[in-house]
Chains A and B, each alone.
Chain A
Amino acid sequence: MSKRILVVEDQPDNRQIIRDMLAGTDYEITEAEDGEQALAAVAKQRPDLILMGIQLPIMDGYEVTRRIKATPATRSIPIIAVTSHALDGEEQTARAAGCDGYVPEPYSPRQLLAKIEQCMPQ
């Protein structure tokens, strides 16, 4: 069975890039545009991995991550933070929120894909 990736991202171009990047792979994608949609999607279909945009409307990606990690049933899903806040100390913030990986924007799709493969549970 192909692995499922939940893409949480409010920027349409970034969703398109990730979609095109994964088009040639075996992964199945679900998309969410904000934190609430993300939590609903996680509860409904339990993805194998989450690409978490951090700057989201209403609830930021770190808060969404904390909630997913606080729920025993979803705690083990790996979450990769994708953030344009590339300031000093951002990676520590991501780790502290419970993210398993951290990719600063602008990223290379090739490198993001490598990160996904590295974090994907077997």
Chain B
Amino acid sequence: MLAIQNARLFSEIAEKSRELAEASQHKSQFLANMSHELRTPLNAILGYTELMADGAYGEPSEKMLGILKRLEANGRHLLGLINDVLDLSKIEAGQLVLELSEYSVQDIAQTARSTLEPLAADKKLAFKVEMAAELPPGRGDGRRLTQVLINLVGNAIKFTDTGEVAIKAEANNGSFYISVQDTGPGISAADQAKLFQEFQQADNAITRKKGGTGLGLAISKRIIEMHGGKIWVESQPGQGSTFTFTLPVIVERQVEAA
């Protein structure tokens, strides 16, 4: 009797796990399709815009060039939003897989610098990179870690109107400590608690004024946790902010979400 019940339970469990695997497969296919469906029209918008700015359809006037720049900036912004939403969906669906290989913290900082220094220059902010001498080579997903650093530095520039942003990195006891310091307005203790949650910026009015999905820090947190690390902020209103993440220098295996 018991044996029959057990057999039935086993087959029910097998059936359920097959259904789960199938659902996850569908979700993954859906994400791939969405990514394709959203990028295709965006490619046309950004492509025509660039060709027009380059004079492929006749020499544009100064005024038109200004508008084409805005068109491109908005298209790029939309692309950023699409990427963020897809990243987060992938993480939620358990589909984000780290590609673990050797990386250098110097290279990551250099990529963040070359990507964002022009934005800092536009706002007349100093951009500093302070690396400890002889950082060891790391093992992890260099591309995803670059994404995290770019997100932090991008935020720092976005919210700082005078002064500087600085990237600092050191290694200690088998872990990297990488921080991004700014001289921006600072963040109250109450707002700090919400920062790393999805769709939460410290202030909704900020979302409207500064843009962004409010997803960047949530995604960064998940990426760092998948590396077995931690991310946090230290800040006081009026004193600037420092975002720091730490992770093992060598990550052999992705840490699954709790």
By a beta-carbon cutoff of 8 Å, the part of chain A in contact with chain B is 11, 13-14, 17, 20-21, 23-24, 55, 84-89, 105-110
List of B residues within 8 angstroms of A13 by Cβ: 41, 43-44, 47-48
Report if A105-B51 is in contact (Cβ < 8 Å); known contacts: A24-B56, A88-B99: no
**Contacts A14-B44, A20-B57 given; does A88 touch B50 at CB 8 Å:** no
Known: A84-B43, A105-B40, A106-B39. 9 other contacts (CB 8 A): A13-B41, A13-B48, A14-B43, A17-B44, A85-B35, A86-B35, A88-B96, A105-B39, A109-B54
Q: Across the interface, which residues of A come within 8 angstroms of B44, CB to CB?
A: 11, 13-14, 17
Which one, B36, B75, B99, contacts A55 given CB within 8 A? B36
Q: Which B residues, 61 to 111, have Cβ-Cβ distances below 8 Å to chain A?
A: 75, 79, 96-97, 99
A105 to B46: give the CA distance in the assembly, Å: 10
CB of B56 within 8 A of CB of A106, answer no
Please provide the 4 A-B residue pairs with the shortest distance between their CB atoms, ordered closest to farther.
Answer: A13-B44, A106-B43, A84-B39, A17-B47
Q: Which residues of B contact A24 (CB under 8 A)?
A: 56
Determine the chain A residues whose CB is within 8 A of the CB of B51 once the complex forms: 17, 20-21, 109
Q: How far is the CB of B50 from chain A (nearest CB, A)?
A: 5
Residues B35 and A106 in contact, CB atoms below 8 Å apart: no
B41, B47, B57: the one contacting A109 at CB < 8 Å is B47
7 intermolecular pairs with C-beta atoms under 8 Å apart:
A17-B43, A85-B35, A86-B39, A105-B39, A106-B79, A109-B50, A109-B54
Distance A5 CA – B97 CA, assembled complex (angstroms): 36
**C-alpha gap A8/B40 in the complex (Å):** 15
Q: Which residue of A lies closest to B44 (CB)?
A: A13
Cβ 8 A contact of B47, one of A14, A55, A85, A88: A14
B42 within 8 A of A: yes
Interface residues of B (CB under 8 A from A): 31-32, 35-36, 39-48, 50-51, 54, 56-57, 75, 79, 96-97, 99
A59–B56 alpha-carbon span in the complex (Å): 33
Contact partner of B36 (CB less than 8 A), chosen from A14, A85, A110, is: A85
Interchain CB contact under 8 A, A84 and B47: no
Shortest CB distance B196–A (Å): 23
A88 to B43, CA, bound (A): 19
Q: Could you say which residues of chain B place their CB within 8 Å of the CB of A109? A: 47, 50-51, 54
Tell me if A106 and B36 are in contact (CB < 8 A). Answer: no
Contact yes or no, B79 A21, CB < 8 A: no
A88–B44 CA distance with the chains assembled, in angstroms: 23
Question: Quick one: closest A residue to B42, CB to CB?
Answer: A106
Distance, CA A105 to CA B44, complexed state (A): 9
Residues of the B chain whose Cβ atoms lie less than 8 Å from the Cβ of A87 = 31-32, 35
Set of chain A residues within 8 Å of B99, measured between Cβ atoms: 88-89
List the A side residues contacting B48 at CB < 8 Å. Answer: 13, 17
Contact A84/B40 with A23-B56, A24-B56 known, Cβ cut-off 8 Å: yes
